[in-house]
Amino acid sequence: MGFFKRKNRFPTEDINRGEVILTNDEIIIKNNSYESNDEIIKIKSIEYIYLETSDYSEPSMFIYQGRQYYIPGDYVGTERLWKHLSELFNFDIDIVYAHLKDKKNAIYKLYRTTYTKNYSITSTNTNDYLEGFEIQSPTPLFISWNTTKEELLKCPYISSDGFYLDITYPVRIGNIIIDNLGTYINDVRSDVAPQNYYAKCFTTDGSDKSLYELKNKIEQDLGSKASYSFNDDGNLFFYAKSNDITLEISYSNDDNDCRTIAYSFSSLHISTKYEYPNLLNDTDYTDKLELSNTFIFKYLLSTPTNYHRDDRIKHTPEIIQKHSKGKSIIWIDNANNILGFADNEYAIWFDKMEIDSLTLWNMLPAKGGGFCNLSINLNTGESVTVFEGEHDTLKYQLEELEKFLGLKVTFNEDYNC
């Protein structure tokens, strides 16, 4: 390849590829071969450093600081950076020199930081894992897993930026204290409980000890109240399932062949499966629904089902089920100015004044499988999926569909690469 001048030398630096600038406290990465903003790494916050080699490209430096950064070995300033970091973080630069010429997929760990352990096992015997969590505020406050988003946001010990919900104090889940439990709420409607809570659990060395400690405690405490599964083939996954609640703990290990570099924590994930059947009924509309015209599809299509996220999703009205006879359908209700979409179980409808246009994507199978997607584009700029199905199932009825709706449907087609 001509990258190396002699043993122990780095690839020939190429300013057209990129440049690394080293300051007292930052690494600035300039990717000159493509348009991008400069990437900035805070040196004091670096968590780990690896050398990556490949069977098809030059070696790279991998740095994790809040997220992953890759610095190709032929960027200007890379050799100086390696030497500086080896002195700063006290790793063996000879490991880098020894593998610079490797033409195989591999990773070599050079440095990992130490962490502050952020969870603890209590000496109490409180077995309420499946009920909720207790905020360790000056006056502890217990929050059940089925507490709605609206009620959570009223809690004085909870804050949110509208995207993620943080809890000010550590929380107790059963006999485990965790200091960073939170949940994403941007796509959760206000009148249901979040379906997922997350926490990162660190030991001081960032090892899988955290997973085994948490796993053993949960199994010991829950006993026959849950069913368990554990996969230790490569990455580690533990599940404790009981009715509406699943406790999942995972830990990823370095994978040399795939050049996958693990995180340094066990991920705790609590998922809930609460159902709210009353939210799927809308008698205010269905009691006055009138069918002015219908379009029944030749092929099976599915309407979105995640009513926890979208309050427009309802049960398919009985009159629509009888008319469609199990097939996918669009209906027009001129009396109520409604355009609706339904399969045999779920439906979604809109005031016609809300609708700006429609878009149909036909994704052909390639690396990924094929599918099609019909969406409504609202006047607000929001796009809402109304039907999904196998590829090609909609495009051959596109002309009929446009005629029925009296609207232009923008058609896009691509390969699912």
For the record, the structure tokens of 369 come out as 């499988």
The confidence band for 2, taking pLDDT boundaries of 50, 70 and 90, is: very low
Q: Please give the share of the chain, as a percent, with pLDDT higher than 70.
A: 98
pLDDT, residue 194, reads 97
- Cβ count within 10 A of residue 297: 20
Residue 328 near residue 300 (C-beta atoms within 8 A):
yes
Indicate whether 25 pLDDT > 60.
yes
| Residue 183, burial from CB neighbour count under 10 angstroms (0-12, 13-18, 19+) | buried
**pLDDT tens-digit series, residues 117-156:** 999 999 989 999 999 999 999 999 999 999 999 999 999 9
pLDDT, residue 415, reads 93
For Cα atoms 359, 362, 366, give the angle at the middle one, nearest 5 degrees.
145
393 DSSP β-pair partners: none
The three state secondary structure string of the chain is CCCCCCCCCCCCCCCCCEEEEECCCEEEEEECCCCCCCEEEEHHHCCEEEEEECCCCCCEEEEECCCEEEEECCCECHHHHHHHHHHHHCCCHHHHHHHCCCCCCEEEEEEECCCCCCEEECCCCCCCCCCEEEECCCCCEEEECCCCHHHHCCCCCEEECCCEEEECCCEEECCEEECCCEEECCCCCCCCCCCEEEEEECCCCCCCHHHHHHHHHHHHHHHHHCEEEEECCCCEEEEEEECCEEEEEEECCCECCCCECCCCCEEEEEEECCCCHHHHCCHHHHCCCCCCEEEECCCCCECCCCCCCCCCEEECCHHHHHHHCCCCEEEEECCCCEEEEECCCEEEEEEHHHEEEEEEEEEEECCCCCEEEEEEEECCCCEEEEEEECCCCCHHHHHHHHHHHCCCEEEEEEEEC
* Distances, alpha carbon 215 to alpha carbons 16, 47, 118, 243, 252, in Å: 50, 25, 16, 19, 15
Could you give the domains of the chain?
A: 18-112 (no CATH), 119-272 (no CATH), 278-416 (2.30.29)
pLDDT, residue 233, reads 84
**Mean per-residue pLDDT of the chain:** 93
**pLDDT tens-digit series, residues 338-383:** 999 999 999 999 999 999 999 999 999 988 899 999 999 999 999 9
Distance CA 54, CA 56 (A): 5
**pLDDT tens-digit series, residues 296-320:** 999 999 999 999 999 999 999 999 9
